[in-house]
Structure 1
C-alpha cells in the first residue's frame, strides 16, 4: 500500500491560542470540561471518503441507547477556511448527544491543501455518508441538520441553501438537503459591503480570498457563487443564526432573513451580546448554544 502524501497544515487557529487571546478581554470565559453520561457513545476517525491516497474521516458523538430523538446534526468546524480541527466541535457535540442527537464532525480539505470548492464537496460527501447510514445511527428520514461555526458556519449556510441546485455535489443525483441550518457567527453574503470591508480590503492576506483564489475584483463570480445568500429560495431549510454581536461575522443576515420570511420559512436570530466571536468554544456560552439548537430543531 502506497504511503500517503504529506499534507500542508495550518495550525494558526487552535483552542488554546484562541482562549489565551479571548480571555484577556473576556474574563468570564472558561474552557469546558467534557462530562459524559452513562451509555453515551463516541466513535472516531470513520472514513467517509477517499480521494486518491487521501482519506477523509469523521467523528461521531451518539446518545445512549434508547435515548435518541431521531435527529442528527453534522457540524463543520471553523478556522478561516485554512485551519481548525473537527475536535473543536467536541464540547458542543457532547451536550447535543446528551439531548438525544447523533452528532457528526467531518474533517475536510482546507485551503492549504485544496482551494474552493474542494472542502464543500467533501462536506457534502459526509452528508451523503451519514444519510446512507441514518438508520444505523438512529436517525429518522429527513432528520439530519447541518451546522457550523465561523467559516464553518459560512460553509454550512452555503451548502444548506444550495443543496437543491447542487453546484457542490460530490456525485450526480446525491440528495444533500437537510432538515435545518444552524449558523454560528458565519457570514451569509460574502459580497455584502460589511463582508467586503473585512474580507476583501486585505487583498492577498484575506483568508477568504486565498480560499476562492483571488480578491473580489478578480474573482467576483466566485465570491457570489460562494455566498449562501445567492441560493436562498422557497426550498431553503429553516434557519437558526447565533451571533456574537459582531455584525461582520453574520454579514448578509438581514437580507437572508427577509428572503426566508418572504418564502414563509421559519428562521430565528439569537444575539449573544458581549460574547467573543468563538463563543461556542467556551463556558458560560456553550450550554446556551446547545439549548438554542435543541429548541430550534425540535420545533416544527
Structure 2
C-alpha cells in the first residue's frame, strides 16, 4: 500500500527526486540475450548439449573489472584471465548479443580454457546500441585493445602479440576493428591475429541484407548503425569488415556454426587474404547452434581451434 507523503509532494516530483538520487552512470540494461535463455531454446534441438564445467588449475588468476576508459560519468571495465604459465600471446574477446545485449561474462568458460593453454585473455565491456550508437562501441573496443597493449608488460606480453576475437555481433565488431584498425577509422590500432566466431563479415552482401536489413521495425544492426541500408549504404559498407581487408590485415581464423547466414562474406575475405599472402583458416561445425562457444560439446573444440591457430604466432621463446 502506498502512503501519501506528509510534505504533500506530487507523485511526479517524488519520482524526480528518486531518480536524482541514482548514480549518474545508472542506465537501462537489455538482458534479452543470456546463456540460460539460449540453453532453454537449444536443449530440445541439440541432444547432448550441456553447460560447460569450469575447473581451475593451480596458478591461474582472474583480475575483475579493471577500468580501461571513462566516457562522461561512465567507466568501462575489462576482466583479465591470466594463465599459470603465460605463452606470451594475448587475446581480447568481444562478446555477442546483437549489438544491444550480452555480457563479457559469457566468455568466461572459453577464456578459462584458453588460459589453461597459456593465453592471457582480456574481456571488455563496451557501450551497446541502447547506450551509444555506432561507432561508440567500436571506439570502446579499440580503446580496450590499446589499453591491453599499453599494459602488456604487466601481463608478461609484448604489445605486438595481442590478438582480437569475438562471437556473433562481437565477431563482426572484432573483424571490423582488426581490418580497419591500420587505417585509423576508430583510432589507429593493430592486432596480430583475428578470431571470428560466427560473425558476419560483409553486412552489405545481399544475403546478409535479407536478415540484417529487416523492414518495419529496424533490425538490431540497423538500429546500431542508425538506419537501414537504403538510407545509408556507405555506412553499411564502412561497417563491413570485408571492405577493409588489405596488406596490413592480420592472420585470420573463422570458426562457423555451419549456419550460412552468420558467415556471410567469408569467401570474399578469405580470397582477399589469399591475394595478400596472409595466413588464414576456416573451420565449420555441422549441426551446431549459433552460440556454439557457450556450450559443450562444442566449446573445447573452439578452444582447440583457437590454440592451433594462434600457437605459431606466440613468441618464439615461448614455443621452446
Distance in 2 separating the partners of 1:263 and 1:203: 40
The yes-or-no answer on 1:215 pairing with 2:228 is yes
1:203 Cα offset (Å) = 4.5
**Residues 228-264 of structure 1: CA distance to partner in whole angstroms, max 9, x if unpaired?**
0110011100000000000100101111100100110
After TM superposition, what 4+ stretches of structure 1 lie above 3 angstroms from structure 2? Answer: none
Deviates more, 1:146-155 or 1:131-140: 131-140
The yes-or-no answer on 1:168 pairing with 2:171 is no
The yes-or-no answer on 1:265 pairing with 2:268 is no
Question: 2:250 aligns to what?
Answer: 237
1:63 Cα offset (Å) = 0.4
SS of the equivalent of 1:163 reads helix
**Residues 91-125 of structure 1: CA distance to partner in whole angstroms, max 9, x if unpaired?**
00000001111000000000010110000000010
Q: 1:18 aligns with which of 20, 34, 38?
A: 38
Q: Which has the larger radius of gyration?
A: 2
**What is the aligned-residue RMSD (CA, Å)?**
1.1
Q: How many residues align?
A: 292
Question: 2:164 aligns to what?
Answer: 146
The yes-or-no answer on 1:59 pairing with 2:79 is yes
Question: 1:28 aligns to what?
Answer: 48
Question: 2:113 aligns to what?
Answer: 95
Unaligned runs of 5+ in 1: none
1:222 Cα offset (Å) = 1.1
Question: 2:10 aligns to what?
Answer: none
1:141 Cα offset (Å) = 3.7
1:23 Cα offset (Å) = 1.2
Question: So what's the TM-score if we normalise by structure 1?
Answer: 0.95
Cα distance, 1:231–1:203 mapped onto 2, change above 3 Å? farther
1:167 Cα offset (Å) = 0.9
**Residues 49-77 of structure 1: CA distance to partner in whole angstroms, max 9, x if unpaired?**
0011100000111001xx11000100000
Question: 1:289 aligns to what?
Answer: 302
Question: 1:156 aligns to what?
Answer: 174
Map 1:40-51 onto structure 2 (within 5 A). Answer: 40-51=60-71
Distance in 2 separating the partners of 1:161 and 1:71: 19
- Confirm or deny: 8 A CA contact 1:204 1:210 kept in the other structure: no
SS of the equivalent of 2:303 reads helix
SS of the equivalent of 1:240 reads strand
Deviates more, 1:213-222 or 1:2-11: 2-11
